[in-house]
Amino acid sequence: MNDFVTLNHGSGGKASSEMIQEIFIKSFGQVGDILADSAILDIQHNQIAFTTDSFVVDPVFFPGGDIGKLAICGTVNDLAVSGAIPRFISISFIIEEGFSIKDLKKIVNSIAKQANLANVKIVTGDTKVVHKGKCDKIFINTTGIGVFQKDLSFISDGSKIAFGDKIIVNGTLGDHSMAVLGARNELDFKVAVESDCTCLNHLIKDALDADIQVKFMRDITRGGLATILNELAILTNKGIDIVEKNIPVNESVRGLCEIVGFDPLYLANEGKFLMVVHPNDANTAIDFLRKNPLGKESKIIGEISADHPKMVVGKTEIGGKRIIDILQGEQLPRIC
């Protein structure tokens, strides 16, 4: 095998099949006939969740993760916050001619490791290679299937949300965005932040199985907390009140945001979710989440309000109020 990816690796012929055997099967294991057009899966559930994401993060390696880890966690988390148990993943690569085989192997190993941790199976895939300069190193699409053990569709449709329900986040915001920004080496200083990129499905399943009335979940990715809260306000036709000082933000991220002029509320995360719970269960939920390392900085940040329907209002640290709008422009392209 060469040191670099060539156009032949995307031909569907001998080089493609060698790459599948020597790189993908070695890491992912073999499921069924790898050359078959489709994976055939036994699904003993009548309701499934289905989600897709393409990952174009720049750079492909960053503190706390890489594009492969991101591709698994992103899709696993999308399934998990819908209340589904993530089960099967398809993976599709678009690779630039000349990309290093060593880096490809690192990424593939990272994918295999995360899939293993999250207990999902990679069951089908595709590889395309384009000429040098026609894509930026490597893009990855993952598409996932999860199953429902009971009807939890309310977890994503918001239909059980009521006034007074508490809004929780499971930790600090903005770490992923700032870690990626730092890795771009466009700043004159070092950024001491790691991405929060992680698979949240086990924590979420435990929370859904616990004695807590969880009414809604969503992961806080592109658009950041502000955008997710606005989508929730519109979805439920209710207002949302946020206490800004309760929103957990890492000190380095806060400082960095002040320097570069970003608002942590609009930054993408890859290991954070928003959870809406019955007010009686809010403290129990916090205690429960904090027992898990992925939730140890969980906080109640606000509540569903009978005032200002469809609007998100933040109480600022000096006691004022501001409307928190949906993200208008793009703070940081290619963050995932």
Q: State the nearest-atom distance from the C-beta of 250 to a copy of itself, in Å.
A: 21
Instruction: Give which of 227, 203, 253 is closest to 63, Cα–Cα.
Output: 253
C-beta closer to a copy of itself: residue 32 or 309 = 32
Q: State the nearest-atom distance from the C-beta of 179 to a copy of itself, in Å.
A: 18
Q: State the nearest-atom distance from the C-beta of 166 to a copy of itself, in Å.
A: 21
Residue 84 near residue 91, CB atoms below 8 Å:
no
In three-state form (DSSP H/G/I as H, E/B as E, the rest C), the secondary structure along 224-254 is HHHHHHHHHHHHHCCEEEEEHHHCCCCHHHH
Q: State the nearest-atom distance from the C-beta of 184 to a copy of itself, in Å.
A: 12
Q: State the nearest-atom distance from the C-beta of 318 to a copy of itself, in Å.
A: 27
C-beta closer to a copy of itself: residue 82 or 250 = 82
C-beta closer to a copy of itself: residue 291 or 334 = 334
The DSSP H or E segment spanning 206 is helix 201-209
CA atoms in the 13 A half-sphere facing the CB of 206: 13
CA distance 18 to 101: 13
C-beta closer to a copy of itself: residue 51 or 279 = 51
How many residues make up the chain in this entry?
Answer: 336
Residue 297's Cβ-count burial label (10 Å; 0-12, 13-18, 19+) is middle
C-beta closer to a copy of itself: residue 196 or 219 = 219
Contacts of residue 12, defined as CB under 8 A and 6 or more positions apart, other chains included, come to: none
**What is the bridge-based pairing of β-strands 299-305 and 166-169?**
antiparallel
Q: State the nearest-atom distance from the C-beta of 313 to a copy of itself, in Å.
A: 18
C-beta closer to a copy of itself: residue 81 or 193 = 81
